[in-house]
Amino acid sequence: MNALKKLFGGNTRQFGMIFALVALIIFFQFATQGRTLTPGNVINLFNGNSYILILAIGMVLVIIAGHIDLSVGSVAAFVGVTVALAIRDWGIPWYAGILLGLALGALIGAWQGFWTAYVGIPAFIVTLAGMLLFRGFNQFVGKSNTIPVPSDFQYIGSGYLPEVGPNTGFNNLTLLLGLLAVAFVVFSELRSRRTAKALGAEVPEGWVVATKLILVCGAILYATYLFATGRPGTSFPIPGLILAVLVLIYGFIASKTVVGRHIYAVGGNRHAAELSGVQSKKVNFLVMMNMAILAGLAGMIFVGRSTASGPFDGVGWELDAIAAVFIGGAAVTGGVGTVIGSIVGGLVMAVLNNGLQLLGVGADLTQIIKGLVLLIAVAFDVYNKSQGKRSIIGMLTQGFNRPSGGTPLQPDEVTSTKETISREA
Amino acid sequence: MTSLNTQSEPVLLEMRSITKEFPGVKALSDVNLVVKAGEIHAICGENGAGKSTLMKVLSGVYPYGSYNGDIVYQNEVQQFKDIRASEHAGIVIIHQELALIPELSITENIFLGNEPVKRGVIDWAEARTRSRELLARVGLREDPDTPIKEIGVGKQQLVEIAKALNKSVKLLILDEPTAALNESDSQHLLDLILGLKGRGITSIIISHKLNEIEQIADSITIIRDGKSIETLNVKADGVDEDRIIKGMVGRTLESRFPDHEPKIGEVLFEVKGWTVGHPQVQDRLVCKGSNFFVRRGEIVGFAGLMGAGRTELARSVFGRSYGRFISGQIYKNGKELHLKNVKQAIDAGLGYVTEDRKSLGLNLLDDIKTTTVSAALKKITKGLVVDANKEFTVAEQYRKSLRTKTPSVEEGVAKLSGGNQQKVVLAKWMFTDPDLLILDEPTRGIDVGAKYEIYGIIQQLANQGKGVIVISSELPELLGLSDRIYTIFEGSITGVLDKDDASQESLMKLMTSARKTA
């Protein structure tokens, strides 16, 4: 069972979330009599949630660094309306509109980053102010009107991969994308295994790797099949593509680069990070700025999808993004969290939303259920940490643990960090 | 109440074959502890030996039923189900990290959870009167309305004891009470514990400072690897520090410092006229025109009482990471350096191992390998990407060479013992390959065996031709380790002594008096 945990890179919390996501999908698949895993519904799910998931990517970095951003919905709306106006009134082309939107996002981010990092005002306050400010700007600039955007701009929010090549009955580009993803997963897994072996680090058994690859690739191929066989004219959606690229880039930044290390370091212990040469103000500035750029992007995608910008775009998005991050295993105190975990957390919420809708559950009940899911997911995390256990899966499989593995060094110390601090020294 | 002959005193507490297991590990196995009424009983053992676990069993943190064995207290078998139950019986534990609330006043802290109530309303007049009495008993002259954050750690410790007295304590447990205190505060506290003994209060004290134990304890129980090894009667058995160490480590340590032949070269690092202001208080100086130098291969000690400005000096030199820089020059190899931030200091070949490992030195969420490379990420990156393989190799290398006890370098640093955490911090700074390494209280809270190893590492660094500065509150440590010792008093360097001229007395004299000649 230990080996099974290793399937997902030893991150049992993430494993638990993926397990929950799969269980949820299977449950709804049965409950809705197969209406969940249809091409149309899956495409819809991605289209309707990509902007929240993009926000979650930025938000997890903000939360890892020990901050929070409440302004993302307002920032998204302000950027959306500005870009829509610029395209309509100044007649700039769609790509210039996107560049303008990203630049405006960066400017807003620099503003909030300045107050947070250099003046030292808690991000909660800065972005609470930002939430009001930019909502106000949105309605002021747009005069609380709905501003339509042209169809080529709509492509980023509601477009699909085009049909190219011979008629195979599938969308060829989607197929290609799926196959590339499979090849990438297999290649990177085998490569990291080989180098770990060469270094003498512990590597999982061969069958574990094989099972993991079969499961992951199977899931990718199945998703590819769903996306490639949608009703004519649809295929893998452009927002999904943007999301996938961002997940790859930010996942890489967070786990493999110096900047990523510094974000975790600042969130984990700012003083220790500073005394190790990390320029924490710069790091804080960057995460706040990055968040606003992604919020701008999310706002533009939403405008593209809904074909117009409106005065109430993005209301409540910040809460959805924050919920996704915390369900995905981040810690309120900072220093903990992953990009992929937040995406999984966001997908759990999205699937829940979608499944309940398909079942005809009302918005009132849906909110109640979502609230409880958030609470229970985090409560589980807190409880397990206080018990020195790792996850729901770890608990279920306790009896199967091999005696040699998984025994903590000093069980006395596998409690919360705070307790460890007070006990030691 | 007092007695001249402790032998005939009745037994207050007996813990009989206490066994406490955690999944997979026996933290305590068949531990016996007998504490007589009215004595000061010390518990000694290396970190991780099980001292804290034993005290948690006693105070009900681990409730009855979660351990095997009996607690007999005042001739009755006790079944404490939580801390309140043990406090009710008169057993009060004072943890090393004080449980006081900084924003509340002394009175509010003393009566927290125990407020005197008149008709449902807190009777502050009564509380204030009683806290004045309690403060007088512990010898603390402070206004009971003073907020806790405005008094020093030494005084806070006294407030904790006043709080315990208010709970009509019979058995007081002190976990490392002097770890954060300077010499005079420590002495005051020890005198107070002796005074309480005179008034019939029994104490159990856990401490790494063996000289203090030798000074005040009547009996010593030694715990090693979760077992009680022996109980020594200090007066009857003629116990000294070496005897205690022998019991703790299970062998005699020939010497507490490894042998070292210094190979001292030319001047490596020099600071002139270093003046730094307090970060908040406008007119206060924390360093007043300090001059000092370090030669290649030299271990230089900095002695001073807590609050004398040792850490402030070190941190302000280390890339101005403390205080307001006012004036002064830094020279390395004769060239002046202008270090405006920590990054520049590291790039210029400086390293600083912080005093407070937990809050300043480590990210407790990180694992060993991440920590090891965190101050020199540049050395293992291609472009901006961290090379995970190199990271692993480097961490593994230091794990082996420093003999860090851990199953793997992927283990979290929070799970390591103090000594092993310190080794990881040392590895982190050794990997930056500094020319000058400043170590601030490098062995605080670390057990004897690990201290010996850390001294060895420090000497090795000096042998490689690096300059090493050691700041320490423990004078024997400075005397054993340093080639030369500077003394600091109220922000000024008051003297410098060569190893052979220095003694505890001569250092203490310089540490407590202003410089006579400029």
Cβ distance of B384 and A257 shorter than 8 Å: yes
Residues A52/A302, Cβ–Cβ less than 8 Å: no
CATH of domain B9-90+170-249: 3.40.50.300
Cβ distance of A410 and B25 shorter than 8 Å: yes
Torsion angle of C-alpha atoms A329, A335, A338, A341, degrees rounded to 10: 10
Q: Would the pLDDT of B98 be above 80?
A: no
Cβ distance of A424 and B408 shorter than 8 Å: no
**What is the share, in percent, of chain A residues with pLDDT greater than 70?**
86
Residue partners of B175: CB distance under 8 A and separation at least 6: B52, B55, B93, B94, B95, B96, B206
Report d(CA A132, CA A57) in Å as an integer: 23
Residues A277/A75, Cβ–Cβ less than 8 Å: no
Q: What pLDDT digit, counting tens, does each position of A55-81 carry?
A: 999 999 999 999 999 999 999 999 999
Nearest chain A residue to B28 by CA: give it: A412
Torsion A85-A86-A87-A88 (CA) sign: positive
Residue found by looking up tokens 């090549």 in the block = A165
Distance from CA of B460 to the nearest CA of A (A): 22
Torsion A379-A382-A388-A391 (CA) sign: positive
Question: What's the CATH superfamily of B265-349+434-518?
Answer: P-loop containing nucleotide triphosphate hydrolases (3.40.50.300)
**What is the share, in percent, of chain B residues with pLDDT greater than 70?**
95
Q: Which residues pair with B224 in a beta bridge?
A: B227
A63 contacts in chain B (CB < 8 Å): none
Domain ranges within chain A, ordered by starting residue? 1-34+348-425, 38-159+259-323+332-337, 161-236
Residue partners of B89: CB distance under 8 A and separation at least 6: B73, B74, B78, B80, B170
Distance from CA of A214 to the nearest CA of B (A): 26
Distance from CA of B418 to the nearest CA of A (A): 6
Q: What pLDDT digit, counting tens, does each position of A259-294 carry?
A: 999 999 999 999 899 999 899 999 999 999 999 999
Confidence band, pLDDT 50/70/90 cuts, at residue A119 = very high
* Candidate from A157-161, A237-241, B442-446 with smallest mean pLDDT: B442-446
A66 contacts in chain B (CB < 8 Å): none
Cβ distance of A410 and B415 shorter than 8 Å: yes
Domain ranges within chain B, ordered by starting residue? 9-90+170-249, 102-167, 265-349+434-518, 355-432
- Tell me the three state secondary structure of residue A39: helix
Cβ distance of B321 and A275 shorter than 8 Å: yes
Cβ distance of B318 and A417 shorter than 8 Å: no
Cβ distance of A425 and B445 shorter than 8 Å: yes
Give the residue numbers in A contacting B (CB under 8 Å), as ranges: 195, 199-202, 256-261, 264-265, 268-269, 271-279, 335-336, 403, 407-414, 417, 420-425
Cβ distance of A411 and B318 shorter than 8 Å: no
Residue B118: Cβ-neighbour burial (10 angstroms; 0-12, 13-18, 19+): exposed
Q: What pLDDT digit, counting tens, does each position of B413-437 carry?
A: 888 877 888 899 999 999 999 999 9
- Tell me the three state secondary structure of residue B205: strand
ipTM reported for the complex, 2 dp: 0.74
pLDDT of residue A425: 32
A259 contacts in chain B (CB < 8 Å): 384
Helix axes A280-306, A238-256, angle to 10 degrees: 170
Pairs of residues, one from chain A and one from chain B, whose beta carbons lie less than 8 Å apart = 142
Q: Write out the two tokens for B192.
A: 């107070």
Distance from CA of A208 to the nearest CA of B (A): 20
* Candidate from B131-140, B347-356, B357-366 with smallest mean pLDDT: B357-366
Topology alike, domains B9-90+170-249 and B265-349+434-518: yes
